[in-house]
Chains A and B, each alone.
Chain A
Amino acid sequence: MVTNVTSFGRSGLSDWLVQRVSAVFLLLYVLFLVYVFISKPDMQFQEWQALFANNAVRIFSLIALLSLCAHAWIGMWTIATDYLTTRMLGATANKIRFIFELLCLIALFVYLVWGVQILWSI
């Protein structure tokens, strides 16, 4: 058992599951957007706004946003623990990695709050 406190769910299994499930949600959301673009090639602002003002679309968008944040965090954490390690960077690596993880976390949190704000202000 290798322990690590910075991973998303602190368990490899739960991270793996979240990564897979969030990927499925993101795929569905992208397919939904593609479908909207294809079915209405000359959509105007009004229609676009009405679409996102719909509560179901809002919730779907929120799920996609949450999925994106979780997915990105697990991915960035994995990249950080692959490449920003003492093996690769020497003794300061643990500090560098922690700062990198913190920056990722702050960025994702900002995107999340900002995204929610946008979705609910339509």
Chain B
Amino acid sequence: MLVSVYRYNPEKDLKPYMQDVEVELPEGKDLMVLDVLQLVKDEDDSVSYRRSCREGVCGSDGINMNGKNGLACITPVSTIIKNNKLVLRPLPGLPVVRDLVVDMGAFYKQYEKIKPYLQNDEPAPAIERLQSPEDRAKLDGLYECILCACCTTSCPSFWWNPDKFVGPAGLLQAYRFLADSRDTYTDERLADLEDPFSVFRCRGIMNCVAVCPKGLNPTKAIGHIRSMLMERAT
């Protein structure tokens, strides 16, 4: 199989280029893209990429495979292969540090902006803040995000305004805290999101939903935030 890998080392290369590597796939086995990357690295060990858990938990190996963002470690080659060719690029929309490694700074900055932690101004109880099973259930489909950035870097609105639009991952987490019965800063959180960019740059293209390796639905969460903003203002 032909693997075409995006290469760029800012210390050496003037411009990024694609490197073609022929790899031999073992018979009768469907490798994950991360395994293929290892085979590529066996051929040329200067290829750089991030990975850690190799089982879809840490979120560090989000890359663009044949045009679609995803986690290399849990994407079987058979599901994305086109004409026996695999094109691997870094996540779009973020500056490349080297090869498939991108600078996630802009992504984390937006995450930080939504204050991704519980805020509660009532005195802390002796043991813990309790939550009913029903209220806890409201966080399902929100808390599972592993911050891999596959969604946010596939969102055109984030490409155009990475400094102003929070992006799907950040907004999913924003809703995770808006929906939490133990958080008392709902109003302040909403006030921070009402401007024309933070939430409302979402045009409902749903690229985010299409790529999330955890099967989460940021567009739905964004819809809930909009409804909460409406509720608050009318």
Contact = CB atoms under 8 A, between A and B. Distances in A.
The interface centre, meaning the residue of A7, A17, A82 with most chain B CB atoms within 10 A of its CB, is A82
Counting chain B residues whose Cβ lies within 8 A of the other chain, the interface size class is 10 to 19
Interface stretch (A8-16, A22-30, A31-39, A112-120): A8-16
A3 B195 contact: yes
Interface residues of A, number: 19
Interface string A20-64: 000000000000000000000000000000000000000000000
A2 B196 contact: yes
Contact of A11 (B164, B192, B195): B195
B49 interface: no
A74 B137 CA distance: 38
B117 interface: no
A1 interface: yes
Contact of A12 (B157, B161, B162, B196): B196
Contacts of B195: 1-4, 11-12
Given A4-B196, A12-B198, A13-B194, 16 more contacts: A1-B193, A2-B164, A2-B195, A2-B196, A2-B198, A3-B195, A4-B195, A4-B197, A12-B193, A12-B199, A13-B226, A15-B196, A15-B200, A81-B197, A82-B161, A85-B160
15 contacts: A1-B193, A2-B164, A2-B197, A3-B195, A4-B197, A10-B196, A11-B196, A12-B200, A14-B233, A15-B196, A15-B200, A16-B200, A81-B161, A85-B161, A87-B161
B124 interface: no
